[in-house]
Amino acid sequence: MSLKIRPARPEDAPELLAIYAPYVTDTTVTFEYEVPTVEEFAGRIRRVLTHYPYLVAEDNGVILGYAYASAFRERIAYIWCCEVSVYVRRDHHRQGVGRALYTELERILREMNIASMDACISYPNKNSIKFHSDMDFERVARFTKCAFKHGRWVDIVWMQKILADSPDPPRPFIPYPELTARRGV
């Protein structure tokens, strides 16, 4: 496999949605009940890219997975923390796609002066918890009966990876578009 990580584009939405849809319809990994439309998904990509990275992993032009960061909370004081998500095609689990995506995502987030990556994981989801643990995330919280999907209550676990020593005051947040412009990407 010759994996290439690149920024997502809104026109990637059909392929990304094909990866995401089974997570919506068949699992409690995401708490959406309905698969979004391609247009809605493209809009999500555009919105994320206004401030944060949205990455895809592809092999010979075929997208195998994607990862992105988003606002942890909307208030400005939270700007140095972000929530991260990763989705990989089911036939490519445990092949290093998620690890490659998160490694590049973390590298970019460090350049943006992000202090922590936070992941909200449905529980039980032992594979995702193990993946995040292997990526040096620590479990920081568990909330019970947060969502109801597929006829049952689902808990959530929050895991966190600290990226910076958090100087006081913190270094300025650099939005992703500004960072890519500086790098000439």
Banded model confidence at residue 185, pLDDT cuts 50, 70, 90: low
* pLDDT confidence tier of residue 143, bands split at 50, 70 and 90: very high
Type of residue numbered 157: V
Please list, in sequence order, all residues whose beta carbon lies within 8 angstroms of the beta carbon of residue 40, skipping any fewer than 6 positions away: none
pLDDT digits (tens, 9 = 90+) for 32-85: 999 999 999 999 999 999 999 999 999 999 999 999 999 999 999 999 999 999
Is the pLDDT at 184 greater than 80? The verdict is no
Position 180 pLDDT exceeds 80: yes
Give the global pTM.
Answer: 0.94
Task: Report the mean per-residue pLDDT for the chain.
Answer: 94
Question: pLDDT of 99-134, one tens digit each?
Answer: 999 999 999 999 999 999 999 999 989 999 999 999
What are the respective helix, strand and coil percentages of the chain, to the nearest 5? Answer: 35, 30, 30
Sign of CA dihedral 96, 133, 86, 48: negative
Q: Which residue has the higher pLDDT, 93 or 82?
A: 82
CA distance linking residue 15 with residue 5, whole number of Å: 15
Domains defined along the chain, listed by start? 3-183 (3.40.630.30)
User: Shortest CA distance to 177 belongs to which of 64, 50, 87?
Assistant: 50
pLDDT reported for residue 145: 96
